[in-house]
Structure formats: structure tokens, C-alpha cells
């Protein structure tokens, strides 16, 4: 999930909060049309869930990592936080016209969260030298 240009210079906590707000707004906006039956369980919305939670989990891991947690610990906390947020958003969607939360949404959020944290971890470890020290 790319962040707006103005968010690029923001701190890790601000980016994580912004990602949470974007997911929230995207989840509670009413949909004027119904679900397409030809999509069955896996429609294009699953890709959006996956990408959104990949970005969210990565920004949460970054915020936690910059707050003092080690990279692996930050990732281990970020994944369940992201999936828990997906479950909460699914519960909120039950009250939004045109929204139908599904288990596949949560699976897409889990997959996205794991992939987002894995990519963040790889980037974080590549940026650090031997012994976890930042490269210069």
C-alpha cells in the first residue's frame, strides 16, 4: 500500500496510524452495488484486503521496531495486530450497507500481513550489517 507523498517524511507511528485510517475508511464506505455472483468466494476485494494489510502490518512492524523491539519481535506482534484489526473491521462492516464480511477477507488479511512483515523484515535485515548494526 503506497503512502501519500506527504506521509513519506512522517515518523513510523504516524505512517502506521495513517495506514490504519486508510483501512478503516476503505472498510466502512457503503457500497452501492451488490456482490457479483461470478466472483464466488474470491473476488477482487480479496486482493485489496491482502495489499492493505500487507502495508498496514509492515508499517506497524516498522513503528514497533523503531520503538525498541527487535525486528523479529516487531513482526511477530504486527501480524496478529493486523489480523485482529481485520476482524474488528469485519464486525463493523456488518452494519454498513452493501458490505458483506467473509472469512476469506480474514484469510486475505492474514496472508497480506505475513507477506508485508516478511518484506519489511527482509528490508530491515538488509539495511543492517553484521550483528544487527545499521550499515553506513
pLDDT recorded at residue 133: 45
Residue 136: inside a domain:
no
16 domain residue, yes or no: no
Identify the pLDDT of residue 97: 84
Say if residues 87 and 102 touch (Cβ distance below 8 Å). no
Task: Provide the residue range defining the domain that includes 123.
Answer: 45-128
What number is the average pLDDT over the span 51-69? 92
Give domain status of residue 22, yes or no: no
Mean pLDDT, residues 27-33: 78
3 domain residue, yes or no = no
Please tell me the predicted confidence (pLDDT) of residue 116.
Answer: 96
Write the CB contacts of 99 (distance below 8 Å, at least 6 apart in sequence). Answer: 27, 28, 30, 31, 93
| Number of domains comprising the chain | 1
User: At 136, is the pLDDT very low, low, confident or very high (cuts 50, 70, 90)?
Assistant: very low
Helical residues (DSSP H) of the chain, grouped into ranges: 12-28, 44-66, 71-93, 103-127
Give the pLDDT score at 135. 39
Contact (Cβ atoms closer than 8 angstroms) between residue 97 and residue 107: no
- Assess if residue 77 is contained within a domain: yes
Q: Residue 49 pLDDT > 50, yes or no? A: yes
Question: What percent of the chain is predicted at pLDDT more than 90?
Answer: 48
Q: How far is CA 13 from CA 10, 17, 35, 64, 117, in A?
A: 8, 6, 35, 8, 16
76-106 tens-digit pLDDT: 999 999 999 999 999 998 888 878 778 888 9
103 in a domain, yes or no?
yes
**Based on the number of CB atoms within 10 Å of its own CB, is 33 exposed (0-12), middle (13-18) or buried (19 or more)?**
exposed
Answer whether residue 17 is part of any domain: no
CA distances from 82 to 38, 111, 135 (A): 29, 11, 29
Q: Is residue 59 part of a domain?
A: yes
pTM over 0.85: no
Amino acid at each position: 500500500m503506497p503512502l501519500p507523498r506527504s506521509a513519506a517524511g512522517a515518523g513510523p507511528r504516524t505512517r502506521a496510524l495513517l495506514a490504519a485510517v486508510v483501512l478503516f475508511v476503505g472498510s466502512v464506505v457503503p457500497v452501492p452495488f451488490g456482490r457479483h455472483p461470478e466472483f464466488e468466494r474470491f473476488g477482487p476485494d480479496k486482493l485489496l484486503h491482502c495489499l492493505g494489510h500487507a502495508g498496514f502490518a509492515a508499517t506497524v512492524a516498522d513503528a514497533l521496531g523503531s520503538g525498541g523491539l527487535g525486528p523479529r519481535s516487531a513482526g511477530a506482534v504486527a501480524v496478529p495486530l493486523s489480523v485482529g484489526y481485520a476482524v474488528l473491521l469485519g464486525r463493523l462492516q456488518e452494519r454498513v450497507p452493501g458490505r458483506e464480511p467473509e472469512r476469506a477477507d480474514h484469510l486475505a488479511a492474514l496472508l497480506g500481513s505475513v507477506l508485508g512483515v516478511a518484506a519489511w523484515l527482509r528490508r530491515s535485515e538488509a539495511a543492517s550489517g553484521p550483528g544487527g548494526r545499521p550499515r553506513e
